[in-house]
A and B are shown apart, each in its own frame.
Chain A
């Protein structure tokens, strides 16, 4: 139905109609609901930000883990002067250590003649007739001392040294069993004894050799000379891992701050709020510190240290300012009387000055803090992944620079008696995810992504605005491990 004039006129009149409302009363009625909406929005933003941060960290860690070597850098293999003969029996696989040289076949060669030599890579001449043997693709090495009688004892459960067991070549006429078998201890009359427990799947099982084992016997398995180059020359640590490990480190980080300015009082600080929000912009945040850490073998750690944080901002303001003034007793004119004499007229002459106000400052906030962290570290050979949560206690805050207090005035915040900023802040919190690499046994490098949350304001209670910071950044650290 097309609207006629009656409808159109009513529409025009009622659309323009407005009703007086007590805005303050209305605002007071809806303010709690509005606060709730704002808080939900902040929590949503904060959650979304935290989720993004976690996703980026996980993706980064996942990407970095692609470079984690899949083969262990450590391997252990039997000394080349050992030999083993494998028999298949009803009790399972029996392995006797026999001494085999190029020309010898007895097991009573003395230790003095049989120094372990990596060049002595002879295969066993006693081929094994058994159809089932030890694990494929693995060799066993033992850094055996050169004494005649020596005892190697490796705990089955605590040794972290992977034992690489070498796979025999087909030419040796050794067949590989699909499954391994555990070996029971046997003692034969020859006195050559070995108790060897080898598993296909678990490379951490240890080699246990008794002191009655002759030194000079060659392994029955071929040993790849190239493996020698990969193996560590130092003796494998067979002691159990210590309960706690300690480290100290230095770190430096860069972050980008998010500043929040809010008014405390509804109308008093309107102008200052608008001025400061329009003239100040956050730049970078630098963090430098030292930390000491104690890590339990379970992976949990506690760290404490000292750090210095610098928050940088820029204050930029450009305005014109007209100062209107007048000078008294100035000649402003002349008058001629009827007699023709001239007299001078004195009065006020305007003296207006146009000022160009331009402020361009770099404001700095220097924080000295004590961070205390609880973390969990997962060790993956030379790499480690770590997550931490920190409580940070601020010791001092010093400020430097200028902020606007009125359209034509900036105040110096460098003074110690500044009424704007606190000298000590409330505590803040941090979350961090890092990955590290041990470049030497005692030195490790780490890179960390972190998020800092500062719930408290840096301004005093009497100042009309609250000023808070959050930031996300990256830290790099160098740690010395004891």
Chain B
């Protein structure tokens, strides 16, 4: 039995030491997920605590099929989405037909580290950020996003495009500022 399997089995038995080790091992990853969906650090902390409680509550249902980390990710995303205010998406207009998918040179953003990227994504408006994270990072398709957020598929697509456009603009602005600094 591998270390991870031993950890899971002990957590299923209610071994507090194993549960503590699980928190220690996966809390960083879970916090990153929560931060991507939360409005601020306090909300991210609340999301994280709730996610961990859900993990311990449902750990007996984990049958070993698939990766344990992937299972925890799914629970964390679902728990985070409980905090999303569905009111953001009411009365949205369908803008898909009006917004093209934009492209920028990869040199503009590729050199940034994960912290900068996280900041950029977090700086997006909440309703765009949620759709962007669900689609791009957590591999939801538009139908699943629409069902989760109780919106139309077209709305999901338009929010994604808007998020993409805004991110690209931010990267361009950052790139220009960096070049200006270098020039001086």
Contacts and interface: CB of A to CB of B under 8 A. Distances in A.
A332 interface: no
B118 A14 contact: yes
B106 interface: yes
Contact of A14 (B16, B32, B56, B104): B32
B106 A9 contact: yes
Contacts of A19: 28, 31-32, 35
A23 B27 contact: yes
B27 A21 contact: yes
Contacts of B56: 33-34, 37
Contact of B109 (A9, A262, A263): A9
Nearest to B24: A23
Interface residues of A, number: 35
Given A19-B28, A20-B28, A37-B56, A14 B137 contact: yes
Given A26-B48, A27-B23, A37-B53, A263 B16 contact: yes
Contacts of B36: 14
A14 B73 CA distance: 13
Contact of A18 (B16, B24, B28): B28
A259 to B, nearest CB: 13
Contacts of A5: 106
Contacts of B110: 9
Interface string A32-73: 011101100110000000000000000000000000000000
Contacts of A35: 16
Given A18-B28, A18-B29, A18-B32, A30 B23 contact: yes
Interface string B96-111: 0000000110100110
Contacts of B53: 30, 33-34, 37
A334 interface: no
A29 interface: yes
Given A33-B53, A37-B56, A10 B16 contact: no
Nearest to B135: A7
B49 A7 contact: no
A34 B16 contact: yes
B130 interface: no
B28 A21 contact: yes
B164 A17 contact: no
Interface in A379-409: none
A14 B27 CA distance: 15
Contacts of A229: none
A10 B137 contact: yes
B57 interface: yes
Interface in B76-112: 103-104, 106, 109-110
A29 B49 contact: yes
A16 B32 CA distance: 9
A13 interface: yes
Contacts of B139: 11
B174 to A, nearest CB: 15
A9 B113 CA distance: 11
Contacts of B168: 6
Interface in B108-158: 109-110, 113-115, 117-118, 121, 133, 135-137, 139, 142, 157
B114 A14 contact: yes
Given A14-B32, A14-B121, A21-B28, A26 B17 contact: no
Nearest to A16: B114
B158 to A, nearest CB: 12
Interface string B156-184: 01000000100110000000000000000
Contacts of B16: 34-35, 38, 262-263
A16 to B, nearest CB: 6
B52 A26 contact: yes
10 contacts: A13-B113, A14-B32, A14-B114, A17-B117, A19-B31, A21-B27, A27-B23, A30-B53, A34-B19, A35-B16
> Which 4 pairs of residues, A with B, have the shortest CB-CB distance?
A18-B28, A38-B14, A17-B114, A19-B31
Interface of B: 14, 16-17, 19-20, 23-24, 27-29, 31-32, 35-36, 48-49, 52-53, 56-57, 60, 103-104, 106, 109-110, 113-115, 117-118, 121, 133, 135-137, 139, 142, 157, 164, 167-168
Given A18-B31, A26-B48, 18 more contacts: A4-B103, A6-B104, A9-B106, A10-B136, A11-B136, A13-B117, A14-B36, A17-B32, A18-B28, A20-B28, A23-B23, A23-B24, A30-B52, A33-B53, A41-B60, A262-B16, A263-B17, A270-B17
